[in-house]
Amino acid sequence: MLVSQLYAPTLRETPAEAEVVSHQLMLRSGMIRKAAGGVYTYMPLALRVLRKIENIVRQEMDAKGGQELLMPIIQPAEMWQETGRWDVYGDEMFRLKDRHNRDFCLGPTHEEMITTLVRSDVRSYRQLPLKLYQIQNKYRDERRPRFGLMRGREFIMKDLYSFDKDEEGLAKSYDQMYEAYTTIFNRCGLTFRAVEADGGAIGGSGTHEFMVIADSGEAAIVYCPSCEYAANVEKAELKAISIPKEELKALSIVDTPGTKSIEAVTTLLGINADKAIKTLVYNTDKGVVVALVRGDHEVNEIKLQNLVDCLTIELADEKTIVETLGSTPGFIGPVGIKIPMLIADSTVMNQYNAVCGANAPDKHYCNVNAKRDFSPTIIADIRLIQENDPCPHCSLPVKTARGIEVGQVFKLHTKYSKALKATYLDVNGREQPMVMGCYGIGVSRTMAATIEQNNDEYGIIWPAAIAPYHVIIVPISPKDEAQMSLSNSIYKTLNASGIEAVFDDRNERPGVKFKDADLIGYPLKVTVGPKTINENIIEVKVRRTGEVLYFDVNNYLEDIKSLLARL
């Protein structure tokens, strides 16, 4: 490709709308253009990257027995109504009606579609296991699409679905996909971690997210430097913290005017936050729920939602608190309140002589002790893990990091097959539900995550495996016929050998060409200048390291191949 013909309009200034590095650099390098909020056109350079990621994904899916198909984007409501998800999926689903007033959606995911397909054709255990996948656009009506391709309304995803005879078969399929994902992200040149996660709207139990480590990541993860444990903070399970035993003191009430926060009350009373009980009130579709955690901890709302088995959960407003508990926000406590669902974190049950709200304005209880002074409906792990908390596996302190989710693997078990009656006849002729797994990779998100992890002040630094092109050839003087002729020769030689090269043949200053090359992020830059002509030496600069190497103009091909193999 000649740069003069390449449709990649670069920008010198960063658009104000772009908040994260990947969004900024993809706009500036001419890789994407915004069509609407959360909807983007992929320009030629970006599409080349996407196709390379897709090809890596296809190779690894096929290697594990996957078969590619392509399902409709428009899905009839009836499938979703059979599983019960049509009414509960939420506002993220794009819903539409056809001219006959029939309900459809734009597919945010394809569990219903694939299960309905398979149930109509697979009847015998001899047809299992089966792994089917597609690479296709997905649609989710994000309330606040942001960060470019990181959180969009339209995105490209690979989703594979496994169908097995039993749990043993599912475990094997899951392990195969886990291995494939590890290979895929390694081949893409990413630094990542597979972490235990929550199933979310997909459902099932047993799932891992593949997180690209980046400071800009929306997800918080924890990992143990001493063992293999890693988890999304929403999923991380915690043991109750042991606290030195104290003699139980008599319950008392103290005046605490204006102290509506843990910080305010602990400051007034001269105690640490770990001596307080934090009481939070939630509205759910199962009713009002009161949650208790230690004063220096936070409620993990995902754990709480799973525990209550509710579809919606949000902090209650003041009106609800007053009407339900007869108490005042900021002074709520578990002593004496009447509520069907009082859930205490297990660490709260180990506290001695704690402080909590007294359910009256400007009043707090002192010397509160669980069991003696209040009895929770449920005692469970509902707190959010923090850095230096003990690892659930080895008890040593955990560390935290930020991550960008690029893939997730799920064990769905029989959630969808039972709801949709996807069954097979076993070896004894008995009807059994198929046991399913679901495995997704955000292809467009992987491209953005790669940039978040691979950039500097000058632009993108592509790993060679997914770079739009491997090498750019830049002649210093476009008016020098010898430089242009040699550049063209190098360009043709590289492409003929399978190395994807572009030739910057524009009549521009060298500085403009170099800036564009760094902005777009070609792994190698070959400079052809007077030294090349006079000394028969070409200059090769490695984008990632800044290293400059000199190769013989008559013998450079193998050296460039060797360089790319390391990038």
Strand 32-36 to strand 67-68: parallel, antiparallel, or no bridges (unpaired)?
A: unpaired
Q: Is 500 exposed, middle or buried (0-12, 13-18, 19+ CB in 10 A)?
A: middle
Give the C-alpha separation, 440 to 138, whole Å.
11
Give the C-alpha separation, 540 to 519, whole Å.
17
Q: What is the model's pLDDT at position 331? A: 94
Do 45 and 519 contact (CB within 8 A), yes or no? no
Give the C-alpha separation, 451 to 464, whole Å.
13
DSSP 5: G
Q: Phi and psi of 8, rounded to 5°?
A: -145, 70
Give the C-alpha separation, 294 to 99, whole Å.
56
In CATH, what number does 16-237+400-451 get?
3.30.930.10
Smallest CA-to-CA distance from 155 within 455, 408, 448, 437 is with 448
Give the C-alpha separation, 116 to 122, whole Å.
10
Give the C-alpha separation, 283 to 539, whole Å.
65
DSSP 271-305: --GGGBEEEEEEEETTEEEEEEEETT--B-HHHHH
Give the C-alpha separation, 205 to 94, whole Å.
26
Give the C-alpha separation, 291 to 301, whole Å.
10
Question: In angstroms, how far is the first alpha carbon of the chain from the final one?
Answer: 22
Give the amino acid at 455: N
Smallest CA-to-CA distance from 142 within 83, 93, 193, 76 is with 93
Strand 435-442 to strand 399-413: parallel, antiparallel, or no bridges (unpaired)?
A: antiparallel
Helices (runs of H) and strands (runs of E) counted in the chain:
14, 31
Do 494 and 524 contact (CB within 8 A), yes or no? no
Q: Phi and psi of 170, rounded to 5°?
A: -60, -45
| Residue 223 CA from chain centroid, whole number | 16
The per-residue pLDDT for range 3-41, each reduced to its tens digit, is 999 999 999 888 888 889 999 999 999 999 999 999 999
Q: Which strands form 252-255's sheet, in the order they lie side by side?
A: 252-255, 363-368, 354-357
Give the amino acid at 562: S
The per-residue pLDDT for range 393-435, each reduced to its tens digit, is 888 899 999 999 999 999 999 999 999 999 999 999 999 999 9
User: Is the peptide bond between 72 and the residue preceding it cis, with omega within 30 degrees of 0?
Assistant: no
Give the C-alpha separation, 225 to 231, whole Å.
13
Do 227 and 390 contact (CB within 8 A), yes or no? no
Would you tell me how many other CB atoms lie within 10 Å of the CB of residue 229?
A: 18
Smallest CA-to-CA distance from 469 within 102, 4, 6 is with 6
Smallest CA-to-CA distance from 554 within 567, 530, 537, 533 is with 537
- Do 469-565 and 252-380 fall under one CATH topology? no
Q: Does domain 469-565 have CATH number 3.40.50.800?
A: yes
The tens place of each residue's pLDDT in the chain, 567 residues long, gives 999 999 999 998 888 888 899 999 999 999 999 999 999 999 999 999 999 999 999 999 999 999 999 999 999 999 999 999 998 888 899 999 999 999 999 999 999 999 999 999 999 999 999 999 999 999 999 988 888 999 899 999 999 999 999 999 999 999 999 999 999 999 999 999 999 887 555 555 678 999 999 988 888 899 888 888 888 888 888 888 889 999 999 999 999 999 999 999 999 999 999 999 999 999 999 999 999 999 999 999 999 998 998 888 999 999 999 999 988 889 999 999 989 999 999 999 999 999 999 999 999 999 999 999 999 999 999 999 999 888 888 888 999 999 999 999 999 999 999 999 999 999 999 999 999 999 999 999 999 999 999 999 999 999 999 999 999 999 999 999 999 999 999 999 999 999 999 999 999 999 999 999 999 999 999 999 999 999 999 999 999 999 999 999 999 999 999 999 998
Give the C-alpha separation, 148 to 161, whole Å.
28
Q: 252-380: CATH homologous superfamily?
A: YbaK/aminoacyl-tRNA synthetase-associated domain (3.90.960.10)
Strand 354-357 to strand 363-368: parallel, antiparallel, or no bridges (unpaired)?
A: antiparallel
Would you tell me how many other CB atoms lie within 10 Å of the CB of residue 245?
A: 8
Give the C-alpha separation, 513 to 151, whole Å.
32
Residue ranges of domains in the chain? 16-237+400-451, 252-380, 469-565
Give the amino acid at 164: D
Would you tell me how many other CB atoms lie within 10 Å of the CB of residue 348?
A: 29
**Sequence-separated (6 or more) residues with CB below 8 Å from residue 567:** 189, 463, 464, 523, 524, 542, 544
